[in-house]
Structure 1
């Protein structure tokens, strides 16, 4: 198959969770013989933190504005089997309009930020990445978030065929690695700063750090403000290139996952960090949200903390139990949550949409 994608960024993971998801998907698709053409707006903040990419079957088309690539995009769509436009694509509505004019490809909208989309709609705002007509014109709408969010995409944006396509991990990129002293931690956290995560981060990492001055905590990520409540035993790594993720996770006894507020409220929205840390053989400590048990079994494959006391209890976990949880989580991840699994689900969803299109138009 030939897939044309109009997305945010696949070349830079700086403050951008879309990149690692697309890399895992594209690697699996390319490895199976499919071709992906990925259109990406050349943004200066991503240009300063690009990662080297070598993914068979992937062609990245960088462009300064839509007018410069519209003709080429139309040409690519003529022989494409599927065309996908994503949330936060800088040229989303324009790309969607061009897709609607193309006769051949299955037309797909992939909302990688469904909780944000629905929260903004509820607040009376309309995200700029949404087509003015909503999602009714697409043959398939994919959502990073499952559960009740799928019904809301139908009800509030007119989507007709909806399927969940969750995040995943590339086991060749995320795997157990030798620990590095700089990243050594009793509890580490990897994530871009977000104000709506701060209250949970305070409860599950900052306050435990205050109470356990002899233990070491590490935060890696971008956009942290100067007034962040640092303590002497919280160490900071400003930008963590994807190539360093295995060492970062493998150097910690526990890896913390903190879900953004809108994601936690909807549930069924696993962060890619869950899968990445688990694939590296590090047990994950996470906040609680609906649907978590569909991905990992709490208490057996993942540790859940709702407050500081439960986070401290996780830090006191016996080593044998910590290793058992890590092993079970890695096994579950490799069995169900890899890029190859998601690529197979994507192809199945595209095939189902392709079969349904003639019936819908007859």
Structure 2
């Protein structure tokens, strides 16, 4: 068994934690390939009060106090692992975790930085000559990223990373699949996303503007942080929508909308988890335009692409239930065959085993 110590934001809660389903899909499938996974997450941001799942049987879940003492305890645990992974965006002691777990790792252990928001991280690094990652690259075996494609790979290599491999989001067909519609989520266009500074302007353009242009249609908004935001009267706010409700949310509207964050839209090749969750549920997806979408879904056939809010309004106004169903079914078939977390985990497995072999060769030499 290959022992993995994974330090991330949260495995058991998606509350203010968009990476939850990404972690779950990848790590569950890695466990099936012979990895013993321990996931370390801080008790922060009320995530433990909003758990979506119980600790799974395919990973050991360790929740530590968000204190210096809690940090010291879990940092020391890295010495017991064959692979040590520090993810971005933990939210508490990120810099200290990175330096601490990599220093505690055994000489023959593989050291990975896993960036779940590469465009934003790269912007931070470029803005600071003393960013902790600048000094960390020499001790890392590889950087894995949530997405970003060639631009992110080239950027990380230019900064000194030995290897950079995008591991894209995917579908976990055991958690996201077609279900019956539910009245609480019914509408013409649904959008699910927390209110974030680098997304809000795009939500205004791609969701709220179409709502104002189509006053006779029903718009459904799920996600945290939208209280107090001025919106058209035909927008219904749901607040936080739990992971186990996502299938029903995606199936209950005529179409669902994906809106990339500013940095991910600018870089491209960064499909959000929502893209594959919606496709897995057989939903008709409308997405804002970003470079590389055709690598994942075929525009016009498996997904509808909008350049702005006017496009969203036009697409929705002309969308029939029959066409929406056809698009959703084509997307479902495509992601089941080409974009599951099982296939993503196979990529990670290949990377980790190659790096472990290289580490062992160097330690013997």
1:6–1:92 Cα contact (<8 Å) kept: no
- 2: CA distance between counterparts of 1:254 and 1:207? 16
Residue 109 of structure 1: aligned partner:
113
Residue 155 of structure 1: aligned partner:
158
- 2: CA distance between counterparts of 1:86 and 1:72? 14
CA RMSD of aligned residues (A): 2.1
Displacement, 1:77? 3.1
Unaligned runs of 5+ in 2: none
Residue 351 of structure 1: aligned partner:
353
- 1: CA distance between counterparts of 2:44 and 2:18? 16
The two structures have a TM-score, normalised by structure 2, of: 0.91
- 1: CA distance between counterparts of 2:278 and 2:68? 37
- 1:254 is paired with a residue of what secondary structure? strand
Residue 103 of structure 2: aligned partner:
100
1:287–1:304 Cα contact (<8 Å) kept: yes
Residue 133 of structure 1: aligned partner:
135
After alignment, is 137-146 or 314-323 more displaced?
Answer: 314-323
1:71 to 1:215, Cα distance in 2 relative to 1, 3 A: closer
Matched, 1:122 2:123: no
- 2:257 is paired with a residue of what secondary structure? strand
After alignment, is 199-208 or 6-15 more displaced?
Answer: 199-208
1:301–1:328 Cα contact (<8 Å) kept: yes
Displacement, 1:154? 1.5
Matched, 1:234 2:238: no
- 1:67 is paired with a residue of what secondary structure? helix
1:303 to 1:354, Cα distance in 2 relative to 1, 3 A: same
Match of 1:318 among 299, 317, 320: 320
- 1: CA distance between counterparts of 2:135 and 2:224? 35
- 1: CA distance between counterparts of 2:330 and 2:8? 34
1:276 to 1:125, Cα distance in 2 relative to 1, 3 A: farther
Displacement, 1:91? 3.7
- 2:221 is paired with a residue of what secondary structure? strand
The two structures have a TM-score, normalised by structure 1, of: 0.92
Displacement, 1:170? 1.6
- 2: CA distance between counterparts of 1:164 and 1:173? 23
Post-superposition Cα deviations, 1:91-134, rounded to whole Å, max 9, x if no partner, equal: 4444433333412321111011111111223334766xx44613
Post-superposition Cα deviations, 1:290-327, rounded to whole Å, max 9, x if no partner, equal: 11111111111110001233212221123333222111
Number of aligned positions between the proteins: 357
1:167–1:272 Cα contact (<8 Å) kept: yes
1:147–1:267 Cα contact (<8 Å) kept: no
- 1:304 is paired with a residue of what secondary structure? strand
- 2: CA distance between counterparts of 1:353 and 1:233? 53
1:119 to 1:94, Cα distance in 2 relative to 1, 3 A: closer
2:30–2:349 Cα contact (<8 Å) kept: no
- 1: CA distance between counterparts of 2:154 and 2:358? 19
1:206–1:229 Cα contact (<8 Å) kept: no
Residue 176 of structure 1: aligned partner:
178
1:154 to 1:188, Cα distance in 2 relative to 1, 3 A: same
- 2:330 is paired with a residue of what secondary structure? helix
Post-superposition Cα deviations, 1:7-37, rounded to whole Å, max 9, x if no partner, equal: 1111211121121111112222233443210
- 2: CA distance between counterparts of 1:253 and 1:343? 32
Match of 1:199 among 167, 190, 201: 201
Residue 12 of structure 1: aligned partner:
13
Matched, 1:190 2:192: yes
